[in-house]
Structure 1
């Protein structure tokens, strides 16, 4: 097994979980000792950095946990989770981080850096969750480069929930996750530097909606694996779709597939 790259401790404050419940449009109900909904661990285990240790995009500079591959753009590509036992609000926890993969490759759109981190979250002597996080690093887009064509989303859903977003929601989610990535709140940076049409909805925020839907339909989750395939802008509606085969996806307003996942 690889060495631990990082160990972070957190008290799993119930107030933060209640803040996420309200941010997502629900009621603030979670109290100390109660099970946290799946994927709520995203709002814990912050790693604050001094301003001089941040990159141009607002994320911590690479070269620490993430190796520096000379590629400026960070993209959250997806991941997978195994839920062993529920995390409990208000109970101290620790997160151990390991490097599973780090490589640089030549892709169709230029040089890409691929990083996979494995996080283990423990409460006491119990391993509650294993979380693999896939990140992609790439060069700045060329102004004359053609935009990639996103895949079309499936249309055979049995359940479909419409979600809307705005800059306030994105700001609140960034605050709860301590995510400083400027594509989520700095529209000029998102458009002029990274080439997006607007503010980018957080991949994990979309994944949270997918996981909540799958958890409700299945009556509990053991595993969840997801992949981002196209960005969603803050001014766009999204449809979160479920099929009883355990398929979940996010469909953009033009029918494109933004995320796809499997749940069990």
Structure 2
């Protein structure tokens, strides 16, 4: 790519960090220096644009770091993270982002574009985490792919309980106006049966599940495999170092690995 970068500064407000903990169902109050749980950085480094700068779906118009690919539907496909140091509340941070790859393909549902962004986050002039973010852009229309089903035995299972309030709070904390998370009529227009649970929220739940199991994470990768619709009975599952979100009839919604 052209090597263009974008730098975003954030002071990692402890009040917002506390609100994130509450949204994730975690107790405690974030103070200056509090070590935050994995993937908490997703609630910071907002890309705030006026409403006139948003598309019909609620996302900011493309251009700049991500070029306009002519594909209006956006989906968070997955990511890979390396944790260098704890991410702490109340400590000024910067995120340096760059576009690393754009791949255009044809799928059963039409044209697709796979975009990868790399984010490097620093606090106190030291690297905190490196993240590669995979985003898919597609044409409008119903999703035709048959969702995968999990066949592996489960060693540990936890209920993933979400509500409209959870989705609203997470959208607010991440400044995410994507309408699939709050506009049921728009969801049906995009081919979904109801409100869609945020991919980053599922990934955060899996990362915290993994941290409860193995302690502070060194690496975490995840891949979205099918949408989780609000109201679906869902579980966080583990077998060895593999983690996944399981929906009704063992439908696989997201898979992850942690170290």
Which of 219, 226, 246 in structure 2 is aligned with 1:251? 246
Q: CA deviation at 1:125?
A: 1.8
Which of 175, 180, 184 in structure 2 is aligned with 1:183? 180
SS in 1 for 2:212: helix
CA contact (8 A) 1:157 1:243 kept: yes
RMSD: 1.4
CA contact (8 A) 2:109 2:139 kept: no
Is 1:242 matched with 2:258?
no
CA contact (8 A) 2:4 2:65 kept: no
What's the counterpart of residue 86 of structure 1? 86
Is 1:169 matched with 2:166?
yes
What's the counterpart of residue 224 of structure 1? 220
Q: Deviations over 1:197-250 (max 9, x none)?
A: 000000111111100010111111110110000001111121001122x10000
Could you tell me the TM-score, scaled by structure 1's length? 0.94
SS in 1 for 2:68: coil
**2:113 & 2:57 partners in 1: Cα distance?**
17
CA contact (8 A) 1:102 1:116 kept: yes
4+ long deviations beyond 6 Å: none
**2:78 & 2:55 partners in 1: Cα distance?**
22
Contiguous gaps of at least 5 residues in structure 2: none
SS in 1 for 2:30: coil
Contiguous gaps of at least 5 residues in structure 1: none
Give the number of aligned pairs: 259
CA contact (8 A) 1:30 1:89 kept: yes
Alignment of 1:116-131 (within 5 A): 116-131=116-131
CA contact (8 A) 1:164 1:238 kept: yes
**1:213 & 1:2 partners in 2: Cα distance?**
38
SS in 1 for 2:34: coil
CA contact (8 A) 2:91 2:123 kept: yes
Is 1:101 matched with 2:98?
no
SS in 2 for 1:121: strand
**1:23 & 1:45 partners in 2: Cα distance?**
18
Is 1:212 matched with 2:233?
no
Is 1:38 matched with 2:47?
no
Which of 146, 150, 159 in structure 2 is aligned with 1:149? 146
Is 1:14 matched with 2:14?
yes
Q: CA deviation at 1:147?
A: 2.9
SS in 2 for 1:102: strand
**Which piece of structure 1 moves more, 195-204 or 3-12?**
3-12
What's the counterpart of residue 261 of structure 1? 256
Q: CA deviation at 1:2?
A: 6.2
SS in 2 for 1:208: helix
Could you tell me the TM-score, scaled by structure 2's length? 0.96
SS in 2 for 1:200: coil
